[in-house]
Structure 1
Amino acid sequence: MPTILTADGTDIFFKDWGPKDAQPIMFHHGWPLSSDDWDAQMLFFVGQGFRVIAHDRRGHGRSAQVSDGHDMDHYAADAAAVVEALDLRNVVHIGHSTGGGEVARYVAQYGQPAGRVAKAVLVSAVTPLMLKTDANPEGTPMEVFDGFRNGLAANRAQFFRDVPAGPFYGFNREGAAVQEGVIQNWWRQGMTGSAKAHYDGIKAFSETDQTEDLRAITVPTLVLHGEDDQVVPIDAAARKAITLLRNGTLKTYPGFSHGMLTVNADVLNKDLLDFVKA
């Protein structure tokens, strides 16, 4: 399998499809998934003539199940290691959920300073901060994230079945067209990764304040969010993130879920393509 070795000795698995001289688009997946969650986008964009790259975050998918480093700083550093190993330039970085946080930190701390980034896209992203605090009253209470940790520790297999069957894709909504294959694929991706990486990752995606990352980003940034996102509430995320970005555009989707990249790929792919080509 194609991997790169990070500075701290972690093997990171990646996919690299399409012409090596084409503009690269790099995809950053959400918790607790893998680069496979981008299948619909990678096939679409490679068909449009782009070079597409996606990696499995440390402890996720086919990357090494290391004990430590499951935090936003390491996630961004690992992404930078992939970019540098492949010598990617003029890259569009697209991140979903936790991957959106990874994109924000990578672009702010590595990509822009190195002159490697063309644009960024934050899809259903956890930025700027998910946790409810006195300064962030729209956030999600700590008790919810403690529930994630308890569910994962008690019975990860069942928890990873309940999340996609329920709020992630909005399959718990009345009249929803439930797609069993989508549920099973989410479960498959999650169970491939490390329980410790997933457990530690809850703190990373919920408690990392990325206000300053967003303020530092100057490249054109598209923020996409479903208005019926039951996982990352739109008011605490996209609508707040857009006020911090210097060069941001917000687009929201009535009725769309957190997993809209999969179940509404036809709509999202077109909007992503329009932004990449603009």
Structure 2
Amino acid sequence: MSEGSGLRVPDVGVTDRRDVLLFGSALAVSMTFPLGVATAAGPDPHNATEGGHGMGYVTTSDNVQIFYKDWGPKDARPIMFHHGWPLSSDDWDAQMLFFLSKGYRVVAHDRRGHGRSTQVDGGHDIDHYAADAFAVAEALDLRDAVHIGHSTGGGEVARYVAQHGEPAGRVDKAVLVAAIPPLMLKTDENPEGTPMEVFDGFRAALAANRAQFFLDVPSGPFFGFNRDGATVHQGMIQNWWRQGMMGSAKAHYDGIKAFSETDQTADLKAITVPTLVMHGEDDQVVPIAASALKAVELLPNGTLKTYPGLSHGMLTVNADQLNADLLDFIES
């Protein structure tokens, strides 16, 4: 493991809480094969665009039901949020309420196998994640949308915009927040990345005791609560655990490979819409050197904004600051 990563890989089967917290500090948040067009299930999403329902399901061509929320005026400018691993659309509460109050239409979905979406046993990779997001955007007829992704959700946004959103003319801007692209895994070509042993440790901890693992991660590195002097918010920890445990262990296990091994260099190079890259300088989960600092160099129309001392979970811990900066970018 590279020096300065702040990570330690426990032996398989380790039960010591401190070890789990330490190796959890490289954890990334969320990611899935190309699918076809979607059909509506549950409340009709086409009715939703006319102001009827605030939530429902879209059924993909491989019969996966994707849960979504759709709030605000249906003729307003849409913002679609893409959550991280192993969470759900609920992780965007602070942003959805804020932008709703500013008159925007806000949409967020639960990735397949996460939250309230179908717990299928396959398709847990960036290709499927992006195709599922496109199914929602098509069903709700989202046009000129701003797509905002956090962590693994940032990888989903990059693949969505490059392969679906821009070709279909449905995206206006993109935001990558503490996002995984271009590549998390350490390789000869990507020496700043995180070693494979760390991700193997994630899989071992998840398989051994997912419930404990999902307490240890937010209690420590995710929100930076392991830093000296940090104010620990128990509600944030419990809400993170709640969201994680709603999802499927299979989706979460497979998602580790998706967020760690997917090289999205080509996606970043293909995105031409204005793209804001936001990253905390004390991100222990997706280290900035292997992600944001490289991503902005690959984006043809990218802007980088970094935050000294802020954590991977800054969207929640520092919501007021992040929301203001997001609004400035969207309205610029």
After TM superposition, the score normalised by the length of structure 1 is 1.00
User: Structure 1 residue 141 and structure 2 residue 195: aligned?
Assistant: yes
**C-alpha displacement of 1:11:** 0.1
Amino acid at match of 2:298: L
Structure 1 partner of 2:81: 27
Q: Following superposition of structure 1 onto structure 2, how do residues 76-225 of structure 1 map, counting pairs within 5 Å?
A: 76-225=130-279
After TM superposition, the score normalised by the length of structure 2 is 0.83
1:6 and 1:274 map into 2 onto residues whose CA distance is 34
**C-alpha displacement of 1:24:** 0.1
User: Structure 1 residue 262 and structure 2 residue 316: aligned?
Assistant: yes
1:4 and 1:241 map into 2 onto residues whose CA distance is 31
Structure 2 partner of 1:240: 294
**Match of residue 41, structure 1, among 95, 107, 129:** 95
Structure 2 partner of 1:64: 118
**Match of residue 73, structure 1, among 104, 127, 134:** 127
User: Structure 1 residue 51 and structure 2 residue 87: aligned?
Assistant: no
**C-alpha displacement of 1:80:** 0.3
Structure 1 partner of 2:72: 18
1:40 and 1:148 map into 2 onto residues whose CA distance is 28
Cα shift readout 1:124-157 (whole Å, capped 9, x = no counterpart): 0000000000000000000110110000000000
SS of the counterpart of 2:67? strand
What is the aligned-residue RMSD (CA, Å)?
Answer: 0.4
1:76 and 1:103 map into 2 onto residues whose CA distance is 7
**C-alpha displacement of 1:25:** 0.1
**C-alpha displacement of 1:176:** 0.3
**C-alpha displacement of 1:253:** 0.1
SS of the counterpart of 1:78? helix
**C-alpha displacement of 1:109:** 0.1
**C-alpha displacement of 1:15:** 0.1
| Matched-pair identity in % | 80
**C-alpha displacement of 1:100:** 0.1
Structure 1 or 2, whichever has the larger Rg, is 2
**C-alpha displacement of 1:194:** 0.1
Cα shift readout 1:36-58 (whole Å, capped 9, x = no counterpart): 00000000000000000000000
2:175 and 2:302 map into 1 onto residues whose CA distance is 9
1:131 and 1:63 map into 2 onto residues whose CA distance is 28
1:118 and 1:64 map into 2 onto residues whose CA distance is 29
Structure 1 partner of 2:283: 229
**C-alpha displacement of 1:71:** 0.2
Structure 2 partner of 1:275: 329
SS of the counterpart of 1:159? helix
**C-alpha displacement of 1:201:** 0.1
SS of the counterpart of 1:63? coil
* Gap runs ≥5 in structure 1: none
**C-alpha displacement of 1:8:** 0.7
2:326 and 2:149 map into 1 onto residues whose CA distance is 12
Amino acid at match of 1:239: L
Amino acid at match of 1:252: T
2:185 and 2:80 map into 1 onto residues whose CA distance is 27
2:78 and 2:187 map into 1 onto residues whose CA distance is 38
Amino acid at match of 2:144: N
2:204 and 2:238 map into 1 onto residues whose CA distance is 22
